[in-house]
Amino acid sequence: MTAQAPRAGRAAAGPGRPRLVEPRRNAASARDEILDAAAELFVDRGYTATSTRRIAEAVGIRQASLYHHFATKEDILVALLGETVADSLDRARELLAGPAPAMDRLLELARFDVAQLAGSRWNLGALYLLPELKSERFAAFNDARRELAQAYETLAAEVLHDPADRRSLLPFRLVESVIMIRGDEQRGQLGEHTAPGLVDTIVEAIEVLLTA
């Protein structure tokens, strides 16, 4: 028996049920579409207020199809948060072992990290304060973020020639200030400035802080 083509208005989605609509998001896979939709909803509507049904609707798939990729909403959040630190942590590990002066390595890491946070499609750093992140489910993300913070502190302490100098705690926090800056930009409170346009300013502030 010849298989029937998908009904009009629906797009084939590979094995399993057909999609409800044509793909709505510029993503490489259904999984990436789900992550993109969830990121937008978590940031704009809030994590607690966003259901898996609402995410599926934003993608144009059935809720059951979403569960093929993620068993729970928490799994989606874990995946999204992991993406916010993975590249920066890889870069930090490379720079810690590098031969360049500590200040050069620190500023290179800061510039890379701030650019990532400022230029990402959604301001996922705004989710770092969710109470859900205290649970064991997010231990891997929290460990990765702590390792990234420690890389900043190690490089800053090397610049300062004093591990006890508390200024070594600040570069990482200055980098993550871009998360709040993005929030201000989205609320129209940044005037003519933009978060990506302040990357150089944040990096320069770190240099001034450690050399003053």
R_g (Cα) of the chain, nearest Å = 21
Q: Which residue has the higher pLDDT, 18 or 102?
A: 102
Q: Is 74-211 in CATH node 1.10.357.10?
A: yes
30-71 matches 74-211 in fold: no
Q: Residue 8: which pLDDT band, with cuts at 50, 70 and 90?
A: very low
Query: Whole-prediction pTM value?
Result: 0.85
Mean pLDDT of all residues in the chain? 90
Domain ranges of the chain: 30-71, 74-211
pLDDT tops 80 at residue 43: yes
Q: Can you tell me the distance from the alpha carbon of 70 to that of 48, in angstroms, rounded to the nearest whole number?
A: 17
Long-range contacts of 93-96 (CB under 8 A, 24+ apart): 93/151, 95/151, 95/155, 96/151, 96/154, 96/155
**Interval 130-186: pLDDT, tens:** 999 999 999 999 999 999 999 999 999 999 999 999 999 999 999 999 999 999 999
Q: CATH class for domain 30-71?
A: mainly alpha
